[in-house]
Amino acid sequence: MLDKLNEPQREAVKYLGGPCLVLAGAGSGKTRVITQKIAYMIGQAGMDARNIAAITFTNKAAREMQERVGALMDANRLKGLTVSTFHSLGMRILREEARHLGYKPQFSILDSADASKIISDLLTTTDKQLIRSTVSQISLLKNDRISPDTALVRASSDGEMHLAKLYRAYQDTLQAYQAVDFDDLIRLPVDLFEGNEEVLTKWQHRLRYLLIDECQDTNTTQYDMVKQLTGITGLFTAVGDDDQSIYAWRGANMENLRQLSTDFPKIKVIKLEQNYRSVARILRCANAVIANNPKLFEKTLWSDLGIGDPVQVIEARNDEHEAELVAMKLLAHKFEHGTDFKDYAILYRGNHQARIVETQLRMHKIPYTISGGQSFFDKAEIKDVLSYLRLIANEDDDPAFIRAVTTPKRGVGNVTLEKLGAYAAERQISLFAAVYEEGFVWQVQATQYEPLKQFCDFIGRMQFEAPRAPAGELLKQLLDAIDFETWLYDSDEPKPAETKWKTVLELVDWVAKQGENNGKNLIEISQTIALITMLQGRDEDEVDAVKMSTLHASKGLEYPHVFLVGCEEDILPHQNSIESNMVEEERRLMYVGITRAQRSLTISYCGKRRRGGEWQITQPSRFLRELPGDDVRFSGRLAGDKVEGAISKQEGRAMLAGMLAKLGG
């Protein structure tokens, strides 16, 4: 098994004597070290899978890792192995230790939309910008492990005082709902470990060896969790690349890589230098761009996969033309090389860039999937159904209560809900609990009360069934009972209603599969869904489709042929980052993008682009000027041409040939 590794990789896999840090550039096999090491520890070193935890950055990465390890050894020996994100590990710890923190094990997990809603209520504002900035400031406080009380004490200006008070109120609201947000999933276990020796020891014994992928993107809380869990033995392997640190905006701190050597002086540092992913020209482009950043560590990267074609940099007239060019170039390339759609990825800086590309792909009948964008689970009809599941898991989840009780409308009016809200607030109990209190019953007329009571009784029955019935079946019953399909058709035109109902049926299938494959009941499934929404990653079946993704969500992945679109000033680097001196992080993002490509890379930018309804002249990204001239074929302004934006003759011929062949077949 170890034959498939180079010397330093093998060394990293076999080293079990203490903490180990693998520091290396993109595509050098860091993730491969982790999967092979898991197999090595179980297969050769005789360790129990239950004592090993591998932590990755996204659900998708976790799934892939599980599969890769699964291919290396028998499923039986992998029983109990933990492969998860920091957040799902945190959730597991929290669920088991909830009572130590004043939570019940079926707490709800709020996604960022729910969190924003709470902040918006507390601030009594709908100003999106204000809400977003408040949410992110609170999140940064949490990730730096600053509690509301500490924030209050430390506040040195009116603004900070205001934020601290808001943070306090927000946290109290979460507690009242028996809900946590994403940051709490890590912060709360870390606080618990710090204050409770017994609990910490239990988990240290359980998870004796940790492997951490993408270590450059851990934030302070996550880093603390690693330190706590590995304790004095320091049995872990961390792999990372400071040049790929792209989550500073979420509190990630690549200095943690250096901090490891301070906290664990005996740490063994291993460097990898051979890249197994990309042809030389792509790699040289990546190296040239990142050379413009100051270095945390010295690294070199080389590859012997051949030199490859020049990287293409193309200019389009405008954003729509850019999307069209990409679609046509992709088709031409596909016909010429006999590749599949799934060999291609289109990467972009921000989700808003996706729509225009999608339109062109559809026009050219190119199948695609999107990750890192608006998730399946974010759709309104899905969130409606999920509000029921959340409420079944945790009846104190007031936001879920309100959504469910009003969807479909069941004769519970706003006035009644307001009365219920006021009563619950005064008694400091949840809306659900308030329904059953005599004090409330007296306040409303029987006709108003009856539908409320029926609703709560129904939830109660579902709670009783949930641990007993198959998840998929129960969800079907639920949808029947609330007559969700009829409601969709009543509240929308037939066409969109049909689409929505199909989406809901997809959810039913997905839930049924989760229940059958993983033996989970409806309550357990509803808790994990919250985590899926956070970082892309529903199972995308291996369909033959072009992958569209944000640069952030493409981290750790690789694709044979990559299109990187919108390489312009103000997009990549992003406008905010230029203004706030964060261009280095954007350069790392560019580096991540380039290094996803295995065999070919095409980068595009536009001459102008529509923004807020107006045309704006755009400038090519500064990063394009950092590319090495010998390895790149420029067209457009950067080559001193006038933009014609046409496809080359050769490409045109290949396309034509392909289309004729298709017609013939």
Ligand X SMILES: Nc1ncnc2c1ncn2[C@@H]1O[C@H](COP(=O)(O)OP(=O)(O)OP(=O)(O)O)[C@@H](O)[C@H]1O
**Minimum gap (Å) between residue 577 Cβ and ligand X:** 22
Establish whether 31 is an annotated binding residue. yes
Q: Is 102 annotated as a binding residue?
A: no
- Residue 440 CA to residue 424 CA, distance in Å, equals 9
DSSP 8-state symbol, 250: G
Residue 241 binds which entry of ligand X, Mg ion, none, CB below 5-8 Å type-dependent: ligand X
- 598 within 8 A of 277, measured Cβ to Cβ: yes
Q: Which does 27 bind (CB under 5 to 8 A by kind): Mg ion, ligand X, none?
A: ligand X
Which positions lie near ligand X, rule CB under 6 A? Answer: 4-6, 9, 24, 26-32, 241, 244, 276-277, 556, 558, 595
640 is in an annotated binding site: no
In the complex, the smallest distance separating the C-beta of residue 30 from ligand X, rounded to whole angstroms, is: 3
Residue nearest to Mg ion (CB): 31
Element (H, E) at 602: strand 597-611
Which residue number, 360 or 598, has a Cβ lying nearer to ligand X?
598
b/e per residue 135-162 (b: at least 16 CB within 10 A): bebbbbbbbebbbbeebeeeeeeeeeee
Q: Which residues are catalytic?
A: 30-31, 213-214, 244, 596
Q: Which of Mg ion, ligand X, none does residue 599 bind to, with CB < 5 to 8 Å depending on kind? A: none
Q: What residue 383 binds from Mg ion, ligand X, none (CB within 5 to 8 A, per partner kind)?
A: none
Residue 660: strand, helix, or coil: helix
Q: Is 24 annotated as a binding residue?
A: yes
277 is in an annotated binding site: yes
For ligand X, the closer CB: 277 or 552: 277
CB of 6 to ligand X, least distance (A): 5
The closest residue (CB) to ligand X is 29
Q: State yes or no: residue 240 binds Mg ion (CB under 5 A).
A: no
Question: What is the three-state SS of 378-444?
Answer: HCHHHHHHHHHHHHHHCCCCHHHHHHHHHCCCCCCCHHHHHHHHHHHHHHCCCHHHHHCCHHHHCCC
Considering only residues 251 through 310, tell me which ones interact with Mg ion, judged by CB under 5 A: none
Neighbours of 319 (CB within 10 A): 24
Instruction: State which residue, 595 or 604, has the beta carbon closest to ligand X.
Output: 595
Of 23-31, 132-140, 374-382, 499-507: span binding Mg ion (CB under 5 A): 23-31
- The option from Mg ion, ligand X, none interacting with 635 (CB < 5 to 8 A, set by class) reads none
> What minimum distance in Å lies between the beta carbon of 210 and ligand X?
17
What is the closest distance, in whole angstroms, from the C-beta atom of residue 36 to ligand X in the complex?
9
Do residues 257 and 10 touch, judged by C-beta distance below 8 A?
Answer: no
Which one of ligand X, Mg ion, none is in contact with 4 (Cβ closer than 5 to 8 A by kind)? ligand X
Nearer to ligand X, 58 or 108 (CB): 58
Judge residue 417's burial from the number of C-beta atoms within 10 Å of its C-beta, 0-12 exposed, 13-18 middle, 19 or more buried: middle
Cβ partners under 8 Å of residue 111, min gap 6: 182, 378, 530, 533, 534
- 47-72 as b/e: b if 16+ CB within 10 A: bebebbbbbbbbbbbbebbbebbeeb
Selected range binding Mg ion among 26-34, 117-125, 156-164, 381-389, rule: CB under 5 A: 26-34
Binding site partner of 276, from ligand X, Mg ion, none, Cβ cut-off 5-8 A by kind? ligand X
Please report which residue ranges of 51-123 form alpha helices under DSSP H. Answer: 59-72, 86-97, 112-123
Among 251, 556, 607, 620, binds Mg ion (CB under 5 A): 556
**Is 157 assigned to a binding site?**
no
Contact criterion met (CB below 8 Å) for 583 and 621: no
The whole-angstrom separation of Cα 355 and Cα 357 is 5
- Provide the minimum distance between the beta carbon of 19 and Mg ion in the complex, in angstroms, as a whole number: 19
Query: Of 234 and 556, which has the nearer Cβ to ligand X?
Result: 556
CA dihedral 25, 27, 28, 34 (to 10 degrees): 110
Identified binder of Mg ion from the candidate list 19, 20, 23, 31, rule CB under 5 A: 31
Pairing of strands 82-85, 559-564: unpaired
Task: Confirm whether residue 25 is marked as ligand binding.
Answer: yes
Distance (Å, whole) CA 81 – CA 70: 11
Separation CA 314–CA 7 (nearest Å): 40
Instruction: Note whether 9 binds Mg ion by CB under 5 A.
Output: no
Nearer to ligand X among residue 56 and residue 360 (C-beta): 56
Of 31 and 82, CB closest to Mg ion: 31
Q: Which residues bind Mg ion (CB under 5 A)?
A: 30-31, 556
Q: Which residues are annotated as a binding site for ATP?
A: 24-31, 277
Q: Which residues are annotated as a binding site?
A: 24-31, 277
